[in-house]
């Protein structure tokens, strides 16, 4: 859906929320699959791709580099092609585009110019660009906008990076590595890499595409040179988007089932299940879905979200409604996401009268009576997960408005419609 300029009134639940929800496909899986389909040379397809801004940005980026890509509903088709060419790439605010596409662009025959939204220009890029330079790429610039001069191939080899700011730096290099002359060995040297499940997802998908990846040594990933198989991908539901619907059951004492929940998944979103259990919820698989039943009273949690940082806005919203204090740890890297999510969450919870404190790597949230301030909507900060966190708080706190619910279009087409349908 398009962006909206007027505040959106968050539905208020007058009774426990109960229902069954189907969520769109995973943005993280989708954009990896589309890029791998393009690097395979085609023909290949991706089914279950959500019609989101991030998906469109990845498709348009590849089209800009000469890849024949068509979109039919939730199916993306890459036709057979001879390789990448130069062009202009708009990254928008999609981390998967700004970190995953430049290594592929190093294989292009021609100059590729990258830019994006104003906030995207503030997001860290130097790590992946310096790594590409070390592997033989010619690049002007250290952040958006920058220009990469491709020559049709890249030597590759061994590179050491500090990926403590984003797992996407590792994934971006690995996704194109098999197409480099020598492959790539990536060593990480620094604080622990956040969101490691996202790297596990990348490795698993590369192996599904026939790529030889050795991740047996901690903080080291070796990708052998070779072809990337052209195949048809099927995208599972986005479990991080699903988390806010399960959390609706938690905060209202209701019962919500997300349909199509996979039996096994490398998505970090599966991490919401033990966190909701810690809040006091009952979590149980049910048929082809996952069901959460909320408790009479939410208890606070003390959780390290380092590996599942994208769940922090949802967890913080639930914590703000709990009866005892919570501590969210291990997410200092969120200051470099779509917005500084730690500062943003602290500001928005405090604006409701919440008792919240920023820590160096997270938040401490204590029980307080929350009320919606007149004339001040919940700030989305152009961040889809901040927007959905505001919707979640609005279930319990009447009168909440979200200033930019259209930000949810980044990963969830018509989130407002699905949310209203659940709340009833």
95 is in an annotated binding site: yes
385 is in an annotated binding site: yes
Q: In sequence order, what DSSP letters do the residues of 281-308 get, joined into one string?
A: -EEEEETTEEEEE--SSPPP-EEE-GGG
Q: Name the token pair of 152.
A: 């049709």
341 is in an annotated binding site: yes
- What is the β-pairing status of strands 232-234 and 44-47? parallel
From 310, 338, 348, 401, active-site residue: 310
63 is in an annotated binding site: no
222 is in an annotated binding site: no
Query: What order do you get walking across the sheet with 44-47 strand by strand?
Result: 69-72, 75-78, 44-47, 232-234
Q: Are 353 and 367 in contact (CB under 8 A)?
A: no
130: nearest Cα among 98, 92, 162, 108:
162
Alpha carbons 224 and 123: distance in angstroms, whole number: 30
81 is in an annotated binding site: no
337 is in an annotated binding site: yes
267 is in an annotated binding site: no
40 is in an annotated binding site: no
279: nearest Cα among 262, 296, 266, 263:
296
15 is in an annotated binding site: no
In the residue annotation, 310 being an active-site residue is answered as yes
Cα angle value 153/217/238 (rounded, 5°): 75
Q: Is 100 left (phi over 0), alpha (psi -120 to 50) or beta?
A: alpha
Q: Are 18 and 254 in contact (CB under 8 A)?
A: yes
User: In the beta sheet, which residues pair with residue 89?
Assistant: 114
Detail the residues annotated as belonging to a binding site for phosphoenolpyruvate: 27, 95, 123, 168, 341, 385, 410
Detail the residues annotated as belonging to a binding site: 27-28, 32, 95, 123, 166-168, 195, 310, 337, 341, 385, 410
Residues that are catalytic: 310
Detail the residues annotated as belonging to a binding site for 3-phosphoshikimate: 27-28, 32, 166-168, 195, 310, 337
């Amino acid at each position: 859906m398009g962006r909206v300029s007027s505040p959106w009134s968050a539905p208020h639940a007058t009774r426990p929320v109960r229902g069954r929800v189907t969520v769109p496909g995973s943005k993280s899986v989708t954009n990896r699959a589309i890029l791998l389909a393009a690097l395979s040379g085609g023909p290949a397809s991706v089914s279950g791709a959500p019609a989101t801004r991030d998906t469109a940005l990845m498709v348009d980026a590849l089209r800009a580099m000469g890849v024949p890509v068509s979109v039919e509903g939730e199916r993306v088709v890459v036709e057979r092609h001879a390789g990448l060419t130069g062009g202009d790439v708009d990254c928008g605010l999609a981390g998967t585009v700004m970190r995953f596409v430049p290594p592929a662009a190093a294989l292009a025959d021609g100059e590729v110019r990258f830019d994006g939204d104003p906030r995207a220009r503030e997001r860290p890029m130097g790590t992946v660009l310096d790594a590409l330079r070390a592997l033989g790429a010619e690049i002007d610039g250290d952040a958006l906008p920058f220009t990469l001069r491709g020559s049709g191939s890249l030597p590759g080899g061994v590179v050491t990076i500090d990926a403590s700011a984003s797992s996407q730096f590792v994934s971006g290099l690995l996704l194109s590595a098999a197409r480099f002359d020598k492959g790539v060995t990536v060593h990480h040297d620094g604080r622990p890499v956040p969101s490691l499940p996202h790297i596990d997802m990348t490795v698993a998908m590369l192996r599904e595409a026939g790529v030889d990846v050795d991740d047996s040594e901690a903080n080291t990933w070796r990708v052998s040179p070779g072809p990337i198989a052209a195949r048809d991908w099927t995208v599972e539901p986005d479990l991080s988007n699903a988390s806010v619907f399960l959390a609706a059951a938690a905060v209202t004492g209701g019962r919500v089932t997300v349909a199509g929940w996979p039996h096994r998944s490398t998505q970090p979103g599966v991490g919401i299940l033990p966190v909701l259990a810690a809040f006091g919820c009952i979590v149980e698989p049910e048929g082809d879905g996952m069901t959460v039943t909320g408790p009479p009273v939410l208890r606070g949690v003390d959780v390290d979200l380092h590996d599942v940082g994208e769940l922090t806005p949802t967890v913080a919203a639930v914590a703000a409604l709990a009866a005892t204090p919570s501590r969210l740890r291990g997410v200092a890297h969120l200051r470099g996401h779509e917005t500084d999510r730690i500062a943003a969450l602290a500001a928005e919870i405090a604006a409701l009268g919440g008792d919240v404190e920023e820590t160096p790597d997270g938040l401490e949230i204590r029980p307080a009576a929350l009320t919606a301030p007149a004339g001040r909507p919940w700030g989305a900060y152009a961040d889809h997960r901040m927007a959905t966190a505001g919707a979640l708080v609005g279930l319990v706190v009447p009168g909440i408005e979200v200033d930019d619910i259209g930000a949810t279009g980044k990963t969830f087409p018509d989130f407002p419609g699905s949310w209203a349908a659940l709340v009833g």
